[in-house]
Chain A
Amino acid sequence: MPDRLYLDHAATTPVRPEARDAMLPFLGDAAFGNPSSGHAFGRAARAGLENARQQLAAALGVRAPDVIFTSGGTEADNLAVLGAVLAARPSLGGGGAAHLVSSPTEHKAILGALHEAERHGARVTFLPVNATGLVDLAALDDLLAGRAPGGRPTLVSVMWVNNEVGTVQPVRAIADRCAAAGVPFHTDAVQAFGKLAVNLAAVPVSAASLSAHKIGGPKGIGALVVRDRRAVGPILHGGGQQGGLRPGTENVPGAVGFGVAAELAAGEQPETHARLGAMRDALETALRERLPDLVVHGAGAERGPNILNVSAPETDSEAMLMHLDLAGLACASGSACTTGVVEPSHVLTAMGVPRDLAVGAVRLSLGALSSPDRVPQIADAFAGVVAKVRRLRSVLARA
């Protein structure tokens, strides 16, 4: 078996040792308590939880009470979208239709929540995106000014960094426009946090989604930063935890790990950006040298430093991923369904990438386990796999 190289950090990352160590007391007898309990055990857990909230708030430039812990990025996105619909109307079933504005390249968690809102009567408008995946700000202006169908938006939600191709959206510009129009703006910042400067003190977003396991925290914990509580209603109901906006006994060990990971990731962010960006560029160059017809998706736009999404013509990502895995390279494609069957990415489709190219897309994403020394090895292995898959396709084309 060849030695394995992990090139899928946008999917998940290993837990940082500091985060793991910080979590351990909360998994043992010392601080296992329920943070809602008034006794000493509860207080010990509560101290850890609130410290984590504080760490996250400091890392993001927001107030601690604005940080609502969730089970992850997907729940945060659902809370942002469906919570906005609920806040705008007394129930999902009645009242005037909410109008949600988003982009077609969002993560499935946003698209799924939008679809659910639509099923319950909300209107959804997608902003057009260009060939690099950037949203059309002029179209947003028309919507915010009420010049487009659907009326004044209830919520605008645009991701900060695209998880498939890395395109960085003009979040600052969108936030400013929405703030001026008095329309709440949510951003899925899951892929941005730790890679770009995510300083919400300087960007007037109403809400932002985050996930721990993309930055060296544990899985099963995320957060929605909620600046304006009136703009979000709860989608879960029960005890009054977290101001009633996200009831349920908090995942204390997860939050503690998240807090530590967030503090470290925010502190390292400028260095991470420089390191991963340089390595990504080197990898892109090395791949282009070996595969002159390689297409780099999102090239030309500002991209998250860790993501490289490429298509080699005359390949398909299904065979690519299988051969890459067997060659020891752990990569991803746009969208795989639960069975592992690869479908053309909705992101690339929205960017206007032709289908025959989109079906060959492979995402390589860098992070803690990546080393620039390996770039030539990765590029050689990748080019070797492309050659194999092309040979296979020519055999199948004759059959």
Chain B
Amino acid sequence: MIERLLVCRSGGYSPYENLALEEALLNRVGKGEMILYLWQNERTVVIGKNQNPWKECRTALLSEEGGHLARRLSGGGAVFHDLGNLNFTFLMSAEDYDLPRQLTVLEKACQSLGIPAQRSGRNDLLAEGRKFSGNAFYSHAGKSYHHGTLMVDVDMENVQRYLSPSKAKLAAKGVDSVRSRVVNLKEFVPELTIERLSEALIAALAEVYAVGGGVLDASNLSMTGTHGLSRTPAPTQIHPLRTLSPDEFDLHDLVAKYASDAWLYGLKLPFTLSVEDRFPWGGVELQLDVNEGVVRTAKVYTDAMDDTLAPRVEAVLSGCAFRGEALKSALAGICLPAEQEGQLVSLLETAL
């Protein structure tokens, strides 16, 4: 039974630090406790635990524009976050996990703001038939979390651009995203801010669980590159205030995990992709088998006059990391005419 409520608000906008803090909070949460964690990521595509990043996200475009790709522990599909989005996480012991009750907190918060929220069959929250909150779940070692997005004023153009389907033909295992019609809550409540929504969530939590608690202050956590974010005073509904020392959380290793290529790209999810195009010197199709983020085999089909082209390209791409820079420098290594090299690089980039 939940006997104590704690609220934790992240002080930074880095997805790697925020996901690290989320996992640290899961490790920290005790029996009878419920932690509500509120956090925001700057320009980030977050994919589900078992998703193929290249299938779900235009990774090259995202990184070119200063965005981040992140992978979470929970399942489900890809979502886009920016500072117009608020993320919530309910963390507790598995025995205290009660999805309907947690959803009631979200619904009550929405109702108090005048948002017509309804549950959908697909773990989403809808307003007038359009999704503003996607929810996902994780359970480990007797503890569980339920987290999700709340779209207040997200840049919808970026949602479309970063989450558009790959131009490459991609045969991959893993979990596919389900496209939904989405909506910003600002459409229903024009004066809504992240701050007001956060306060409404904390108030609804206190109302639904009706027990005392405290505020976890994460703004001084030992994280690297944290942006300053002004803190909100604890809402008066939650008493007595209990603050956990931020020093309890050493996030260094977790941040490194979430930001690592191995976590983001290195999953054992083998896939095959092919891209093709026609150039003045001939048509070319590249077929790559990729696993754990590395090109295992490359096949090149071309009607180009130069019959050494295919074997040379195959040789440099096999074993190459499946990342923009690595592929580019591999192709540069075979000293093709500059124009042809550029065309092959652009062709590969359509798959990234």
Question: Does B associate with A?
Answer: no
Residues of A within 8 A of B (CB): none
Residues of B within 8 A of A (CB): none
